[in-house]
Copies of this chain bind each other. A is one copy, B any other.
Amino acid sequence: MVSRTVLALTFALVLVWIAVPTRALADEGMWLFNNPPREALRSRYGSEVTDAWLEHVQKSAVRFNSGGSGSFVSADGLVMTNHHIGMDTLQKLSTKEKDYVNDGFLARTRDREAKAVDLELNVLMEIVDVTDRVKAAVKSGTPPEEAFKARRAVTAQIEKESQDKTGFRSNVISLYQGGKYHLYRFKRYTDVRLVFAPEQQIAFFGGDPDNFEYPRYNLDVCIFRVYENGQPVKPQHYLKWSKAGPARNELVFVAGHPGRTERLLTAAELETLRDREWPYQLQRLYRREVNLLVFSGRSLENARRAKDELFSVQNNRKRREGNLAGLLDPALWAAKLEAEKKFKEALLKNRSLKSTMKAFDRIAQAQKVRMARLTDHVLLEGGAAFDSVLFEVARTLVRAAQERARPNEQRLEEYSESERPSLELRLFSKRPIYDDLESAKLAHSLAFLAEQLGAGHPLVQKVLAGKSPRARAAELVTGSRLKDVESRRALYDGGAKAIASSGDPMIALARAVDPEARAVRKVFDTQVMEVKRQAYDQIAGAKFALEGPNSYPDATFTLRLTFGVAKGYDENGKEIPFAVPITGLYERASDQKNTPPFDLPLPWVRCQKTLDATIPFNFVATTDTIGGNSGSPVVNRAGELVGLIFDSNLHALVRAFIYTEVRARSIAVHSSAILEALRKVYGADSLAAELTGGK
């Protein structure tokens, strides 16, 4: 048994007992690169990971700040990720006339590579444990509001020092819900150019209906090249390509950036997620999905404009439904309760850990505060009431003016010096902004605000200013000059004075709602998050004391290593194979009479006969991945790339709060399928040659 986290360990046991009595091992864990699962690999697979292997994989891995993972895959700086991660860039580079999302893209020469608008990639160079320094700055027993300030101050200071010293983007990461603090140093890349993307039809074949399903036939691939000083980067580390891909039952690894899990949460906190927070999020997602579908349905150009956002909303909706289904599964829930009960019993038996019990109460109390203000927080600080890119820009400008006038240590964290380059990259992005889409989204979110608080609420009246949601949205969007990047820059450079005197209606709105938004944020920061951080810190400490420190923290969109085997599973008595061949793609399309989203792009129709039918297209593995892992490389023991994670199946969605490998699988594109497609479908032989080192 690998995992030493009490909760995680016991879950796995109980789960296993319920579901598959014969199985007692689990490929669990989103492990830190500075605390890898050596023992598990040794005992389960007789495999040793060397420091050199770890460094190689770590520095080959790339984080896409737009929300995904990737890896260096050539000596000349090629980075591979998923199409659905690259889509943010594809969408921003597209116009009505040239639609890269729909049509795909291939730069046959380097000078035709297309520069991304605002894409930032990060490579993790170093991890430093700064737990002691952070905890020393925040004495135990400090009242939450003060503790929050002190913690904010010390992390801002550590980040600034690190950045000044190394030049790296430096972030203090809170792990184990506040049990540990690690300083992560990232190399930033912002000159990123598009090299290859297939048509979305094949990248996302089967669309939303087949999302989170398996078997799948998706070429969910997008390839960029990273530049520095106008030249392709020669990365110190990049992954060699495995032409064979993984064999059945082969041990594989995934290095990527899982976004968020809730495995260490108390049952009481999970209960509030189950009964309030996730249903509320889902309610909004359903609404946004319908609104975007309606907008998209009006014309093909509308559909193009909303495509990226619609995908994201549908993807999140399906994921959240899966998460919630897990929490509503009595067997899983009972396992969670049982695990917590055992942990509490262990606490009560231990004189020095007994007082940890109070931490559970403090978390429950903090969650009460959170639930009482949840709607306000989602609407105002979360921006659910103002679903508009221009409003985001306006809020960033309004807050930047206030925050930049303060000492670095006292700022809201996203305005600290270490975050400045990333913030400015986003703020001054020349991404296209469409009045019609902006107005439609804003109108719907203003209506949502009115419905949630009641149309007579003073804040609603202030926001709507005597207009209907639709009229007010149109007025704000068409009246704002923030579409123009130079206008933004002038307001940013002009600081508080420029903001105060701006007549821009979107700036005025952001100014008007900021006091309320900040007020609820402060409640969350100090009465919720800080209280929970301290309480979870105490619980984590007790866990370490009982179980030793050999465990992994909940996901935090930072680099993690996970392992598992490439293997299929049983679905209602039917054996689902570990890999499915390219021929399956044509069968699925034909079963669905080639109607969207099961229609094939023309190049795929044309070369059906020439493709090697034996090549696996997609495959599954037991690796412990979750949202944020999209685009992660799958590597073998030799550190070669054998696949590209792009999804998990529905069964894996419960992993948000509990690990299971009963039918739960990550889904990846097979490395050989990528080469086959590049060569035969797209005639991209030189790109294929570069990937395989033949060039």
> Which of A's residues lie within 8 Å of B, judged by CB?
207-210, 271, 274-275, 278-279, 282-283, 286-287, 289-290, 293-294, 297-300, 317-318, 324-325, 327-331, 333, 447, 450-452, 454-456, 464, 466-471, 591-593, 595-597
**Complex: how many Å from CA A328 to CA B328?**
36
**Complex: how many Å from CA A111 to CA B240?**
72
Residue pair B208, A592 in contact (C-beta under 8 Å): no
A-B contact pairs, 9 of them (CB 8 A): A274-B455, A275-B456, A289-B290, A300-B593, A328-B450, A328-B468, A329-B468, A330-B464, A333-B455
Partner of A592, one of B299, B466, B469, B471: B299
Residue pair B455, A328 in contact (C-beta under 8 Å): yes
Looking at chain A's contact residues, is the secondary structure mostly helix, strand, loop, or mixed? helix
| A446 CB, nearest partner CB in chain B, Å | 9
Chain B residue nearest to A591 in the complex (CB): B299
Partner of A317, one of B290, B300, B466: B290
**Complex: how many Å from CA A592 to CA B299?**
6
Residue pair A275, B451 in contact (C-beta under 8 Å): yes
18 more A-B contacts (CB under 8 A) besides A289-B290, A333-B455?
A207-B297, A208-B294, A210-B298, A271-B455, A274-B455, A275-B450, A275-B454, A275-B455, A275-B456, A278-B451, A283-B286, A294-B318, A297-B597, A299-B592, A325-B469, A327-B455, A328-B469, A329-B468
Top 5 closest pairs, chain A to chain B, by CB: A209-B297, A279-B451, A275-B454, A286-B286, A329-B468
**Complex: how many Å from CA A591 to CA B299?**
9
| A651 CB, nearest partner CB in chain B, Å | 12
| A102 CB, nearest partner CB in chain B, Å | 12
Partner of A447, one of B287, B318, B328, B470: B328
**Complex: how many Å from CA A471 to CA B325?**
10
Chain B residue nearest to A290 in the complex (CB): B286
Chain B residue nearest to A466 in the complex (CB): B330
| A395 CB, nearest partner CB in chain B, Å | 24
Residue pair A467, B297 in contact (C-beta under 8 Å): no
With a cutoff of 8 Å between Cβ atoms, the chain B residues found around residue A318 in the complex are: 294
Chain B residue nearest to A334 in the complex (CB): B466
Residue pair A467, B330 in contact (C-beta under 8 Å): yes
